[in-house]
Amino acid sequence: MRLLAALALCLVARGAAGAEPDLLLESRAGDRPIEMDLYLSHVVRAASDRPLLQGPALHARIAARLGGVARDATEDEAAALFRAVDDGHEAFVRHDFGTCIKTLDRAAAELAARDALLGRDRRARLALERARLSLAHAYLRTGRPRDAAMVMAEVLRAVPGREPSPRSYSPEVIAFHRRVRADLDGQPRGTLKVQTRPEGAHVFIGGEYIGRSPVRVPDVFPGRYRIVAQTGDRPGRVHEVPVASGEQELVLDLELDSALTRDAHPALAYPEADARTLLEIGHATALGRALGAREVILVGVGSQQGRPALMGTVVAVDSARTVRAGFVTLEPAAPDRATLESFGRFLRVGAPGPGVVVQVGAATAPPSPSPAPRRGARAWLRWVGLGVGLVLAATGGALLWLDGRGTCSAPPGVTCPDHYQTKVPGGILVGTGAALAVASGVVLVLRLGEGGRVALTPQPGGALLRLALRF
């Protein structure tokens, strides 16, 4: 029995570990509220059968899936790296190849990881090239041609069109550079295409500036490339892309990246409340899909009825719609512990509790560049139904007006022997047309399932039902 129980616990734990996690993410416009850690802690502690990714673990997952932020260097750090390259070269001149390899290998790795420094400082790119060429030469002198070829291939991927200068490097280095290039030329080349949303970002490959997105780089040597797309002064994220034969396409969402904070508290941060309202659901959905999440829980401080409120929204990643939403008022009195615990339980498992105002029908779809044909087709049918209903009602009214009137042109004072008998069909058409027009009109106005919002807010002596309709 104990063995079976232990096996069952292991299976349950394994299933929970492999389940799609929920993401807990702050959403804010402006500065981070001082009490945010307290608010988030109650969501974290709420019991749920699904794992929750938040804080440093979420920060690490974002870096692993979306790429780490391109690293820069201060002037002192850059100067130290340049001195290390000089020291390694001097060790080579002294034939101290052990010190040379150790120094240059560390300096080249550190420079290659400083993508932001390479992108803005030509001295750093030249120092990295020099470190790699000297390192390859040292490997050759110590009988390690395979290591030398690997380092020289990195030189060719970074600057394929430039050969080492005879004034700076020995014929041995130049000949080896040509031999490695010939080996790479014998392999299938690929094409690298980089697109960004929005377009026009500066694209760097291995620290070398390529151009503004979208860019297409043909005849790329096979291997792994570090790609950075950047707008303005904010460093972009580093994306390592393997390239072989064929075309490799990389699409980067820079709008999402600009909203994601990069500190220990992962959040979607916006310059103003309107941008937050417009973009947060779409960004939460895109982030959840990139990280393999099931739902994204957004927590932030906003405004309800002119007062600050702690607001929570749960977004289903697969459908890109809001599962549930609610808020807790922060004034005139701060929420107590029981209210915050109710808020956390509501967001994790959907159980409403005291002090939590539930927003009903808060489903919203994120902005998408692709069309929504189903919605357009349904709207077209509703308008057709309204138009047909009005035409039928008008036709029926005309028939009712004709009922009992003569069918001939009799002189004054003479009664026409034949009369129109259109009362019954006229009544049928009026009733049918009116019913169809009213039904189509109601559906057009309400449309709560396509963006309408309903909120039930407690009030003294009752409750306030608020409707937000979209026309």
Residues 61-117: tens digit of each pLDDT: 988 888 888 999 999 999 999 999 999 999 999 999 999 999 999 999 999 999 999
Give the chain's residues under pLDDT 70: 1-19, 360-382, 399, 401-402, 404-420, 442-471
**Rounded CA gap, 217 and 450, in Å?**
42
DSSP bridge pairs for 25: 298
| Mean pLDDT (the chain, rounded) | 83
Closest CA to 40 of 289, 198, 277, 267: 267
What is the structure's pLDDT at 390? 83
Distant-in-sequence, close-in-space partners of 11: CB < 8 Å, separation ≥ 6: none
Domain over 75-185 is classified CATH 2.60.40: no
Report CA-CA distances (Å) from 11 to 5, 8, 49, 180, 297.
10, 5, 14, 52, 27
Answering whether pTM is above 0.85, one says no
Quick count: other Cβ atoms within 10 Å of Cβ 260? 20
CATH dotted code for 19-67+262-360:
3.40.50
Instruction: Tell me how far apart the 2 most distant CA atoms of the chain are, in Å.
Output: 132
**Rounded CA gap, 252 and 468, in Å?**
34
Query: Which strands make up the sheet holding 202-205, listed edge to edge?
Result: 208-212, 202-205, 223-230, 238-243
Question: Between β-strands 453-459 and 307-316, what pairing exists: parallel, antiparallel or unpaired?
Answer: unpaired
**Rounded CA gap, 25 and 92, in Å?**
51
What is the structure's pLDDT at 372? 36
User: In the chain, what are the domain boundaries?
Assistant: 19-67+262-360, 75-185, 190-252, 373-450
**Rounded CA gap, 53 and 266, in Å?**
11
Tokens linked to 81: 């790296």
Q: What is the pLDDT of residues 237-271, one digit of tens each?
A: 999 999 988 899 999 999 898 899 887 788 999 99
What is the structure's pLDDT at 28? 92
CATH dotted code for 190-252:
2.60.40.10
Q: What angle do CA 342, 348, 349 make, to 5 degrees?
A: 85
**Rounded CA gap, 268 and 154, in Å?**
37
